Amino acid sequence: MAAKPAHTIGIYPGSFDPITNGHLDLIARGVKVVDRLIVAVLRNESKQPLFSVEERKEMLREVVREYPNVEVDSFDGLLVDYASRRGATLILRGIRAISDYEGELQMALMNRRLRPEIETIFMMAGEAHSFISSRLVKEVIRLGGDITGLVPPPVEVRLKKRLLGAK
Ligand code: PNS
């Protein structure tokens, strides 16, 4: 059985289009269980994102500044291959409700089959964040709803600019 590495590196992967307070809550929890956390944005040509990968990374960097052990990066190809290249032994994923579980379980088991040495850890965001998703935040703002408290303030500004043309 492999011993626990002296310096644990975790990857928190996702689309982050854009980062929400739910993601941020998970990062705050994740930094307590690893020595270094890499927040990794998937470069996915097939999805039509609202923000480019570079914009998403910029927003992430802005809001994780307070954590010295968090790095923001992007990846393409298989997540487990990226994790391995970066020396990570853990993949961190958030579970909001039971509806997230099935898809997450499938991904975690596939990732384990591909690289058994990498573990997936599921964490729950605080209850106050358990209903937030990037998709819903974008829908609410598009339809004129209030998203205060659902995303970090600099992200709210960017969302309003992009979706409502606000200055
Ligand atoms: O924020 P999301 O969109 O739920 O994140 C999904 C993500 C990026 C974790 C997932 O799509 C992923 O890991 N993609 C990389 C490709 C890959 O490794 N596929 C096989 C995993 S089962």
Q: Could you report the per-residue pLDDT of 92-122, keeping only the tens digit for each?
A: 999 998 889 999 999 999 999 999 999 999 9
Distance (angstroms) between ligand 1 centre and the Cα of 57 equals: 17
Can 96 be counted among the known catalytic residues?
A: yes
SS3 45: coil
Q: Could you report the per-residue pLDDT of 129-160, keeping only the tens digit for each?
A: 989 999 999 999 999 999 999 999 999 999 99
Q: Which of 40, 80, 79 is nearest to 60 (CA)?
A: 40
Report the DSSP beta bridge partners of residue 95.
124
Q: Establish how many alpha carbons lie within 13 A of residue 98's alpha carbon, considering only the half-sphere containing its beta carbon.
A: 0
d(CA 154, CA 167): 13
Residue type, 127: E
Record the tokens describing residue 96, joined without a space. 């909001």
Residues 6+ away with beta carbon under 8 Å from 94? 22, 23, 26, 100, 122, 123, 124, 125
Q: Which domains does the chain have, with CATH numbers?
A: 9-131 (3.40.50.620)
Residue type, 99: S
Average pLDDT score over residue span 80-90: 98
Record the tokens describing residue 16, joined without a space. 């982050």
Pocket of ligand 1 (CB under 6 A): 13-15, 42, 78-79, 107, 110-111
Per the residue annotation, which of 56, 57, 93, 96 is the catalytic one? 96
Residues 6+ away with beta carbon under 8 Å from 6? none
CA dihedral 78, 122, 19, 138 (to 10 degrees): 100
For residue 31, pLDDT beyond 80: yes
Record the tokens describing residue 88, joined without a space. 């990570």
